[in-house]
Chains A and B, each alone.
Chain A
């Protein structure tokens, strides 16, 4: 058995009050390094609802079980893909979900690397992307949920960690 999963029973990690900040820092670092772009704070974030027609998700297993997701609108996703690839003109539509998936993967990896017990004992799944103009994300488990909203090029982008209890 993979040692990261073997440790699940022994070292279950629970979220604490620092995780929101760590998720924010982790996301900002990924955007700065891979897109050379600063994510900005979102004005009145507490009054906003998590929406967007592109969602990328990565599962976590081992010391922490849950799902990390990123959600934004299609136009923002296209801009992110273009920036990652250094594209001058239009982005190949095939690259958009791939780019968002990879950003989600890197944010999840960067976030868990900041928490010692997770860095050693938590595995990430291959990402999944959902696209559409009318869907709602529902977390069935009753565990904690951490949501961080920031702005990419003045448009909202949401980073959510749903932890399974």
Chain B
């Protein structure tokens, strides 16, 4: 079985490490994990190679998660990549906006490894 290649997008390097650790603690079989500090870096990483799953913050400098989602949908070969937003933006309009332009779900910070697993597992299961 192919091990999923995952992109973690967050302007906080600490949060990127925590998300990665949570994924590993969840017992998921993982392939490469690549990090990006904002939407621009994430798009550059995607152009270099496809990912099976993207976890992205919303509130970031340079290019936020909403604009990143919009631009992702214009990249041939990346359109179907599932994106889960990991954000402090609880229940409000920006989350709804992200879901309306293609995000497959969201995880609210603070989060537990179980919450990451619950949201991510079904998306990785499809790859089996």
* Residues of chain B having any CB pair with chain A under 8 Å: 11-15, 17-18, 21, 59-61, 87-94, 108-112
Contact = CB atoms under 8 A, between A and B. Distances in A.
Interface of A: 2-4, 29-30, 33-34, 81, 84-86, 94-95, 98-99, 101-102, 105-106, 108-110, 112-113, 119-126
Contacts of B21: 85-86
A30 B11 contact: no
B14 A95 contact: yes
B33 to A, nearest CB: 16
Given A33-B112, A109-B90, A98 B13 contact: yes
Given A106-B88, A119-B92, A81 B110 contact: no
Q: Which of B13, B88, B94 has the most CB of A within 10 A?
A: B88
B88 A34 contact: no
A108 B88 contact: yes
Nearest to A114: B90
24 contacts: A2-B94, A4-B92, A30-B110, A84-B14, A84-B18, A85-B14, A98-B13, A98-B14, A101-B12, A102-B12, A102-B15, A105-B88, A105-B109, A106-B109, A109-B89, A112-B90, A113-B91, A119-B90, A120-B91, A120-B93, A123-B89, A126-B11, A126-B60, A126-B61
